[in-house]
Structure 1
Amino acid sequence: MSKHLFQVGVGSGGIVVLDLLARDEQFARVTLVEPDVYKPNNVHRHLFSASAVGRLKVELAAEWLTQLRPDLRVDVLACDLTDASRRDAIREAVATCDVGVCAVDNEAAKFHFDHLMRQHGKPWTLGEVLSGGIGGWVHAFSPDGPCYGCLASHLKREGPTDTPAAPPPDYANPGGPIAETTIPANKASIAAIAGLHAMRTLDLLAGPPEFSSLLLTLARVLGVFDEPYRTHRLRVAKSLSCLVCSAVPVSATGEELDVALDQVLTRLAHE
């Protein structure tokens, strides 16, 4: 049966996931959402050449797919996922897709993506490369399983039983004030996590995930990872006290959803 992939984000990691998934012939249609322009600093970590600088990433990605798979239907939305003016087009794409891929590092977009997918009963995956390329997460979600809010809350609470005097830097927060958490990941580490992201997406097409998240360490970092190239599986249960799914019914309207997302992000920021 022909499959429809809905993907948000075609940056350095997203384009690798997209390239790998588009090569699988079970996909007959791809819908891409990405507002950004290809910049000079993108070149050394992306698939496109320097001559493409200044063009929309989503248009470059569509051309790449057309050359790779002339038979593939590719629809593009050069906008932000939360763009109210494109809400109907985005929801139509979500309603008709078989699986979603989130390849963005914006928290508001992740929560919004989660709500869209759950509203339409669609499975989806999320890949996250840790700052500096020291490792990365790949998360898989099913419509009736834990939402991104359940996972985010769980990871926020997770930690050692004895609080250290000086907590290790938060490498999952590249916008943080600590210098070592702002180091860009190299192309090899991005591709490693993107490959796992593609694999988990294909697995999700076959049925609900056996576990919520997979962590792959790529470097030994004192106080963070004891050794490189280790995998860790995380199973997160659906939380009845989740800030997201306990507060926002799946049947919420677009306006109610936007207000609820703002409230959730504000509450998370102050915890």
Structure 2
Amino acid sequence: MAHLFQVGVGSGGIVVLDLLARDPRVTRVTLVDPDVYKPHNVHRHLFPASAVGRAKVELAAEWLRERRPELVIETLPVDLMSPAYQADIVRAVAACDVAVCAADNEAAKYHFDQLMRAHRKPWALGEVLSGGIGGWVHRFISDGPCYGCVASYLQRSAPGDPAAPAPDYANPGGAVQETTVPASKASIDAIASLHALVTLGLLDQSGDDSAASPEPTGPAEQRLQASTGQAGSEADFTSLLFTLKRVPGVFDDAFRPYKFRVARSTSCLVCSPSAVPTPAGEDLDAALDQALARLGDV
């Protein structure tokens, strides 16, 4: 019996949630999202136009109850980083078995990572690239690299779309630009489905230390080659890039997976051997500021 903690139930988050909540092992769900459903959300969301003006977490809870009436659901229509609600959020995190981050800003992702690391919870993050040309799914375990390690490494090493606004992790120090080339719902759903599958894999592996990804020992092992049938387990990557379109100069082929295995960074303020202990409360915000500044200087 598993407790899922999820932040974000937007156009991608609701697809991940719908797929995960259909798994009979999931018996409890905690949802965090401060947003209200707006008219421009309708064409890429599962909720109807008649739901405009209502809190997304309440709509998501109704969606789940219609399909799994026995689910225990807690909704927190609040900002993940709101100091006034940290006690409720920490309580839910401490009780969960696996977590999903479907937030769309860097500060929330770092905060989410710190919460998960403090309570040693596995979690997954999905990101759709501009225009829906592909997307990322990242998996995190308690003894693996933190979000800062992964974001910093991929910022330097991974392919992306140079003609469009960078993914969130490429601009951590400033305001995140709106995507000017929106992804289609089909593209969002494709990456969200991968996000759900990776999360279910984490649930399968929870409590099994032998399932954790081995950390690479050198640069040659950090980036795995495009998958072409070579042997490997479901847990042999930290980040999965899946292309959905062929884009000259960016992606040679559509529908091609690339796996990246990322090590902990020796300079990481969060998880390097000399890092300070994982903070809580106000110290969490200070560590978040430091992490954002460090990544911005890379």
**TM-score under structure 2 length normalisation:** 0.83
SS in 2 for 1:6: strand
Matched with 2:114 is 115
Which residue identity lines up with residue 119 of structure 2 in the other structure?
Answer: H
Matched with 2:24 is 25
Matched with 2:295 is 268
1:213-267 deviation digits (Å, cap 9, x = unpaired) = 1111011112211111101011001122124333753442321111111122133
The separation in 2 between residues aligned to 1:205 and 1:243, in whole angstroms, is 28
Matched with 1:95 is 94
Matched with 2:162 is 168
- For the 8 Å contact 1:132–1:180, the answer to whether it is kept is no
The separation in 2 between residues aligned to 1:154 and 1:115, in whole angstroms, is 18
Which residue identity lines up with residue 76 of structure 1 in the other structure?
Answer: T
Alpha-carbon shift at residue 89 of structure 1 (Å): 0.4
1:91-137 deviation digits (Å, cap 9, x = unpaired) = 00000000000011210000100010010010000000001100000
Question: Structure 1 45/252 Cα, relative in aligned 2: closer, same or farther at 3 Å?
Answer: same
Q: How many corresponding residue pairs? A: 263
1:4-34 deviation digits (Å, cap 9, x = unpaired) = 0000000000000000000000000000000
SS in 2 for 1:66: helix
Matched with 1:199 is 197
Alpha-carbon shift at residue 159 of structure 1 (Å): 5.4
The separation in 1 between residues aligned to 2:179 and 2:82, in whole angstroms, is 30
- For the 8 Å contact 1:212–1:233, the answer to whether it is kept is yes
Question: Structure 1 238/170 Cα, relative in aligned 2: closer, same or farther at 3 Å?
Answer: farther
Which residue identity lines up with residue 153 of structure 1 in the other structure?
Answer: S
1:148-172 deviation digits (Å, cap 9, x = unpaired) = 0110110112158xxxxxx933554
Matched with 1:164 is none
The separation in 1 between residues aligned to 2:186 and 2:197, in whole angstroms, is 17
Contiguous gaps of at least 5 residues in structure 1:
161-166
Matched with 2:76 is 77
Which residue identity lines up with residue 154 of structure 1 in the other structure?
Answer: Y
SS in 1 for 2:136: strand
The separation in 2 between residues aligned to 1:54 and 1:251, in whole angstroms, is 38
Which residue identity lines up with residue 113 of structure 2 in the other structure?
Answer: D
The separation in 1 between residues aligned to 2:265 and 2:291, in whole angstroms, is 15
The separation in 1 between residues aligned to 2:143 and 2:108, in whole angstroms, is 20
SS in 1 for 2:126: strand
SS in 2 for 1:143: coil
The separation in 2 between residues aligned to 1:143 and 1:52, in whole angstroms, is 38
Matched with 1:221 is 247
Which residue identity lines up with residue 3 of structure 2 in the other structure?
Answer: H
Q: Which shows bigger deviation, 233-242 or 111-120?
A: 233-242
Question: Structure 1 111/267 Cα, relative in aligned 2: closer, same or farther at 3 Å?
Answer: same
Which residue identity lines up with residue 33 of structure 2 in the other structure?
Answer: E
- For the 8 Å contact 1:136–1:193, the answer to whether it is kept is yes
* Alignment pair present for 1:256 and 2:250: no
- For the 8 Å contact 1:169–1:181, the answer to whether it is kept is no
SS in 2 for 1:51: helix
Matched with 2:57 is 58
Q: CA RMSD in A?
A: 2.2
Contiguous gaps of at least 5 residues in structure 2:
206-211, 213-234
Runs of 4+, deviation exceeding 6 Å: 174-177
1:170-205 deviation digits (Å, cap 9, x = unpaired) = 55437989x995211110000000000000000011
The separation in 2 between residues aligned to 1:248 and 1:74, in whole angstroms, is 36
